């Protein structure tokens, strides 16, 4: 027996698990109460994850992981904590749901995949073989246009690198692992500290070349990385 997960893609009415509205995918357990609109459901799933399922996951992980060159985008809402304190819970839920839905449309309309929801942001990816530089530029332009609405204010970082992909799927999506995934999250934190709404890693800047005029922000030491990392705004 495998796992069951509950996901809400930004619905206006919301989905509630055990009387709490969910904002990101969450694993379900036997006896959980789910409320959707005026319908209340109780999950009956009394079986533990089987030993055979766990063994199969390990074997699949060993067999299927491969390094795939990918474009990566991480987004994050700016000042989410004070924003959440200044708004009514219902209004915040509608704002987040609308923003996530719009971002999801942008990503998927350009053949990208949202791999992980982060509460106040997400990680998206495009295998290089399935996209083009021009398509990534179109995504960047659409996100920049969305930033102009300031509803909510958010930042995003673009990176290119080889990602360990495959093995055990997470909530229906590929598991993305490795140094390049760690790097883009470090770069997002750096963008936050520099007050930059949009930024490129060195590899993304090199890959995009003349398609995206960019300004060097300098080279920075990042925790967990031995060499300094160049960073660019655009």
Tens-level pLDDT at each residue, the chain (234 residues)? 456 878 776 666 788 889 888 866 677 888 899 999 888 999 887 666 555 555 555 555 545 678 999 999 999 999 998 998 898 888 888 898 899 999 999 999 999 999 988 878 999 999 999 999 999 999 999 999 999 999 999 999 999 999 998 755 554 456 788 999 999 999 999 999 999 999 999 999 999 999 999 999 999 999 999 999 999 999
| Structure tokens belonging to residue 13 | 């009415």
Report the pLDDT value the prediction gives residue 1, as an integer from 0 to 100: 45
CA–CA separation, 176 and 181 (whole Å): 7
The count of structural domains within the chain is: 2
- Residue 54 domain flag: no
Per the domain annotation, does 152 fall within a domain? yes
Among candidate residues 131, 200, 168, the one with its CA nearest the CA of residue 49: 168
- Please tell me whether residues 138 and 192 are part of one structural domain: yes
Note whether 35 and 70 are same-domain residues: no
Spatial neighbors of 105 by CB under 8 A, at least 6 apart, are none
28 touches 4 (CB < 8 A): yes
Does 138 share its domain with 189? yes
Residue 49 included in any domain = no
What is d(CA 172, CA 180) in angstroms, rounded to the nearest whole number?
21
Are residues 174 and 87 part of one domain?
yes
Quick one: 13 and 118 in the same domain? no
Cα–Cα separations (whole angstroms), residue 127 to 47, 118, 132, 145, 179: 36, 21, 10, 24, 16
Nearest C-alpha neighbor of 189 from the set 160, 229, 162: 229
User: Do 148 and 89 share a domain, yes or no?
Assistant: yes
Half-sphere exposure of 67 (CA within 13 A, CB side): 6
Domain that holds residue 122: 65-233
Q: Would you say residue 57 lies in a domain?
A: no
Q: How far apart are CA 17 and CA 166, in angstroms?
A: 29
pLDDT at 178: 92
The answer on 29 and 104 residing in a single domain is no
**Phi, psi angles (nearest 5°) of residue 198:** -150, 140
Asked whether residue 36 falls in the same domain as residue 141, the answer is: no
Phi, then psi, of 187 in degrees rounded to 5 = -70, -35
Torsion of CA 125, 49, 58, 115, to 10 degrees: 0
Q: Provide φ and ψ at 133, rounded to 5°.
A: -60, -40
- For residue 214, the domain's CATH number is 3.30.70.1230
| Omega within 30 of 0 (cis) for the link into 124 | no
**Residue 60: inside a domain:** no
- Helix or strand or coil: residue 17? strand
221 lies in the same domain as 109: yes
CA pair distance 112, 143, nearest whole angstrom: 13
Q: What is the pLDDT of residue 55?
A: 55
Coil, helix or strand at residue 201:
strand
- The C-alpha angle 103, 201, 96, rounded to 5 degrees, equals 20
């Amino acid at each position: 027996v495998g796992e069951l997960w509950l996901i809400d893609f930004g619905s206006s009415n919301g989905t509630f698990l055990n009387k709490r509205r969910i904002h990101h995918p969450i694993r379900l357990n036997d006896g959980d109460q789910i409320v959707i609109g005026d319908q209340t459901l109780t999950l009956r799933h009394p079986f533990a994850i089987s030993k055979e399922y766990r063994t199969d996951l390990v074997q699949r992980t060993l067999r299927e992981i491969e390094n795939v060159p990918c474009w990566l985008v991480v987004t994050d809402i700016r000042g989410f904590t004070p924003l959440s304190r200044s708004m009514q819970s219902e209004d915040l839920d509608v704002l987040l749901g609308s923003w996530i839905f719009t971002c999801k449309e942008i990503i998927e309309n350009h053949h990208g995949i949202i791999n992980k929801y982060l509460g106040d942001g997400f990680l998206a990816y495009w295998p290089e073989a399935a996209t083009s530089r021009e398509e990534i530029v179109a995504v960047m332009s659409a996100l920049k246009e969305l930033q102009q609405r300031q509803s909510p204010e958010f930042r995003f970082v673009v990176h290119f690198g080889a990602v360990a992909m495959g093995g055990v799927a997470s909530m229906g999506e590929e598991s993305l692992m490795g140094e390049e995934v760690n790097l883009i999250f470090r770069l997002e934190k750096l963008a936050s500290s520099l007050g930059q709404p949009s930024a490129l890693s060195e590899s993304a800047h090199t890959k995009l070349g003349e398609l995206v005029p960019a300004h060097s922000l300098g080279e920075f030491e990042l925790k967990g990385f031995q060499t300094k990392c160049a960073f660019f705004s655009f």
